[in-house]
Amino acid sequence: MTDTLKIISQLIADKLEVDVETIKPESNLTELGMDSLDTFDIIFSAEDTFNIKVPNDKVDIATVQDVANLADALISEQHPK
């Protein structure tokens, strides 16, 4: 599991007040009990955590892995090494 995926999983676990072990990469956000606003809230937290800006047209995500992939892509794009 990548560091980004670990951090995103922890953000979701904190929000839902569940053990982080229950959050799997393939977990569907809706099935975890998150609605669209909750998803935006996680994206908002990810922006703060990784100092990235998520464009409004890039929020079509379904799983925990999708969020991590989006964050990784934006980190590379917005903070190139």
Partner 1 sequence: MKRRVVITGLGIVSPLGNTPELFYDNLIAGKSGIRRMTSEFVEKLDTKIAAYADFNPQDHFTRHQYSALDRVSQFSLYAAQQAIADAKLDMENIDRTRTGVYLGTGMGGANSIEEGYVRLYRDGAERLKPFTVLMAMNNAACSQIGLEYKLSGPNLTFSTACSSSAVAIGEAMRQIRHGYTDVMLAGGSEALLTFGTIKAWEALRTLAKEDANDPGASCKPFAADRTGLVLGEGAAVLILEDYEYAKARGANIYAEISGYGTANDGVHITSPTPEGQAVAIRAALKDAELNPKDIGYINAHGTATTMNDISETAAIRQVFGEFANQTPVSSTKSMHGHLMGAAAAVEIVATTLALQHQILPPTINLHQPDEKCDLDYIPNVARKNVSVIHAMSNSFAFGGTGAVLILSKESH
* Interacting residues toward partner 1 by CB under 8 A: 14-17, 33, 37-38, 40-41, 44, 47, 53
Q: How far apart are CA 32 and CA 18, in angstroms?
A: 10
Q: How far apart are CA 63 and CA 39, in angstroms?
A: 10
Which residue lies nearer to partner 1 by CB, 53 or 79? 53
Which residue lies nearer to partner 1 by CB, 7 or 59? 59
Q: How far apart are CA 40 and CA 19, in angstroms?
A: 21
Least distance to partner 1 from the beta carbon of 2, Å?
A: 25
Least distance to partner 1 from the beta carbon of 6, Å?
A: 20
Q: Token pair of 74, please?
A: 């934006």
